[in-house]
Structure 1
Amino acid sequence: MDSIDLEVLKSCARWLADGHRCELVTVIRTWGSSPRPEGAMLAVRDDGHVIGSVSGGCIEDDLIARARENGISRVFPEIVRYGITADEAHRFGLPCGGTIELAIEPLSETSRIPELLDRLAARQLVARRLQLATGEVSYLPAGPGMSLQVSESVLTTVHGPRWRLLIIGAGQLSRFLAQIAVGMDYHVTVCDPRDEYRDTWDELPGVELVREMPDDHVVAMQPDSRSAIIALTHDPKLDDLALMEALRSDAFYVGAIGSRVNNAKRRERLKLFELTDAQLEKLHGPVGIYIGSKTPAEIAISILAEMTAAKNGVALPDAVRVARAKEGIPRSGGDACAAEHGGDSSSSA
């Protein structure tokens, strides 16, 4: 599963190769409320076909109409504003009188889109510098904290995974989790030293599979504030030491699968490694939010929802956390298995 931005860039390369003209549209500034953030991209083809999104739909409709009526006529990049007046804000569906500023770049061979795709395939984090007066493009390495920058003469956009996710365990749940996370622009690594799990793992585009011990890999990756680590093996020999290293790091999210009882036992074990109460408080376990999930795909969504909230600095109420939500829920029949899961079913990890 590609991210939306990667789908946009791949479509641009394909359209150019097929002889179409197209434009790359990037949100560069917003004022007031706006449906899409700075850096969001859309591509429009000369016949009005589009991929991606820069608004709730009305601006896309205007771009499509202009392409169908006039084709792609721009020669150089242009900065365009939508929603300057209250009437325009209403017309283009911008809430609360919001305004959005777009860079519209006509693409050609000199836009070097295939080169950008090659760099992204190599998992590079890349800054693309567009000279607004000429359309000339250059590339340079980008840092994780770098963001879109625009001046009177240059637009710099950042492409590639700025967030990292380490999944410990190569089970079925890990596969769903990895697929969705790649689509969310994470650089995903799955770590499992067990031959029986690695040998049945089918390669996933954009996902790296490593065989070393998880705690060694956590140390080697040097987790920072843009890193997440999730333990899914149910095996304390693999999970505990890795979690110990993760909780001592700056990772923004550390989670572990398992029931409330098993997670309580895990916390007691981790105390033996002299972790502080503050470090133990960082552990999300049972992992995920309670949405009644039972299948691996649903559980993956539950976990990623909680991880996304942590990434965006959103404090979730206790009522949606798995441990609190399951208090008082009777464990019977098929629900017993679900109750053993941090995101609701232990059999899938």
Structure 2
Amino acid sequence: MPAEGRILYAEHAQDILAATLNLLHSGDPCALVTSLNIEGGAARELGSLAVISGRGDMIGYLSNGCIDRDIINHGLAAIDTGQLKHLRYGAGSPYLDLKLPCGGALELVIDPAPDIAALEAALARLLGRQKTVLSFAGRDGPVQIEYAPKPALILAGRGAILRTTAQLAAHMDFELHLASPDLEDLASLEELNPATRQSMTTPKAAIELPIDSYSAVLLVFHDHEWEQAILMQAARQHPFFIGALGSRKTHAMRIERLRHVGLSAADCAQIQGPIGLVPSLRNASLIAVSALAEITAKLPPSQVRSSSS
């Protein structure tokens, strides 16, 4: 029978692993699906994950809707038999009635009995902001896929731009960290379940910034006195992006002040301004889209195939 379950479009490996472990620990049968090979175009990247529950729900996705229902049916069959299953769609596939509009071919493995200890260890590393490697059973031997932590956005500011940017970033599945001197702003964003929320009491007060190479730091203050301490800390910790709201003139003055208080030219050069792909915007929603698009363009690689045998 065709699957009638829901498809929940989670994307990052961290979320799929957490969902898989929740099902396994609760005793619900499930199957973990992984893309092991891509030829030509594809809707998702190599190593993309999804989990299928015994009810026919899928968390994650492997296509743009063209084959996910069929994958669910194969996943339910694997759960019933308890047997590992390999699938190929596209060129060379036995499923001639299922086309991949993007062309090429996609190879998947469905595992109805994934290694719980391996998944737990991988999830712990990702939550600890470390890369991890998982091994999957390919047709011709084990395939190792390396996964990077979820991209984090450390967003500081106040007002409409802060709120709009935070909401959009949450929908884009960033790990969200918020800082603001405005308690009302922070309270309004509580429903987004940010990883951290910090109240800034004075412009010079130190705050905890969980910065690593998978983090972007974005400042959206109109009152720029709140920026200096954060920018100095961020520039010395080398996230993949640092940006601050303001005009070219404002940015030049910002950099001059940072150099005056001892930030090196190399560290200052990391700080982007004006932010965004589109200059001189005055609408909070458009500024948010423009800034997050710039950050997206600079995201580090999320996962790569490291080896197969």
User: TM-score, normalising length from structure 2?
Assistant: 0.70
Alignment CA distance shift 1:268-1:46 (3 Å): same
| 1:85 counterpart residue number | 92
Question: 1:77·1:106 contact (CA, 8 Å) conserved in 2?
Answer: yes
State how far apart, in whole Å, the 2-side matches of 1:44 and 1:229 are. Answer: 35
Higher relative contact order (CA 8 A, sep 6+): 2
| 1:226 counterpart residue number | 214
1:99 equivalenced with 2:90 (yes/no): no
Report how far residue 225 of structure 1 moved.
Answer: 1.8
Tell me whether 194-203 or 36-45 shows the greater mean CA deviation. Answer: 194-203
| 2:132 counterpart residue number | 146
| 1:39 counterpart residue number | 47
Letter in 1 for 2:71: L
Consecutive unaligned residues in structure 2, runs of 5 or more: 1-8, 302-309
- Determine helix, strand or coil for the equivalent of 1:290: coil
1:63 equivalenced with 2:51 (yes/no): no
Report how far residue 181 of structure 1 moved.
Answer: 2.6
State how far apart, in whole Å, the 2-side matches of 1:55 and 1:48 are. Answer: 17
Consecutive unaligned residues in structure 1, runs of 5 or more: 113-127, 130-136, 314-349
Letter in 2 for 1:73: D
| 2:306 counterpart residue number | none
- Determine helix, strand or coil for the equivalent of 1:30: strand
- Residue identity (%): 27
1:53 equivalenced with 2:61 (yes/no): yes
- Determine helix, strand or coil for the equivalent of 1:58: coil
State how far apart, in whole Å, the 2-side matches of 1:265 and 1:291 are. Answer: 18
Bigger helix fraction = 1
Report how far residue 167 of structure 1 moved.
Answer: 1.2
Question: 1:3·1:184 contact (CA, 8 Å) conserved in 2?
Answer: no
State how far apart, in whole Å, the 2-side matches of 1:62 and 1:289 are. Answer: 39
- Determine helix, strand or coil for the equivalent of 2:298: helix
Pairs within 5 Å for 1:166-181: 166-181=154-169
Letter in 1 for 2:131: G
Question: 2:206·2:229 contact (CA, 8 Å) conserved in 1?
Answer: no
| 2:36 counterpart residue number | 28
Bigger strand fraction = 2
Report how far residue 286 of structure 1 moved.
Answer: 1.4
Alignment CA distance shift 1:236-1:30 (3 Å): same
Letter in 2 for 1:228: A
Question: 1:4·1:183 contact (CA, 8 Å) conserved in 2?
Answer: no
> CA RMSD for the aligned pairs?
4.3
Tell me whether 241-250 or 298-307 shows the greater mean CA deviation. Answer: 241-250
Report how far residue 290 of structure 1 moved.
Answer: 0.9
- Determine helix, strand or coil for the equivalent of 2:227: helix
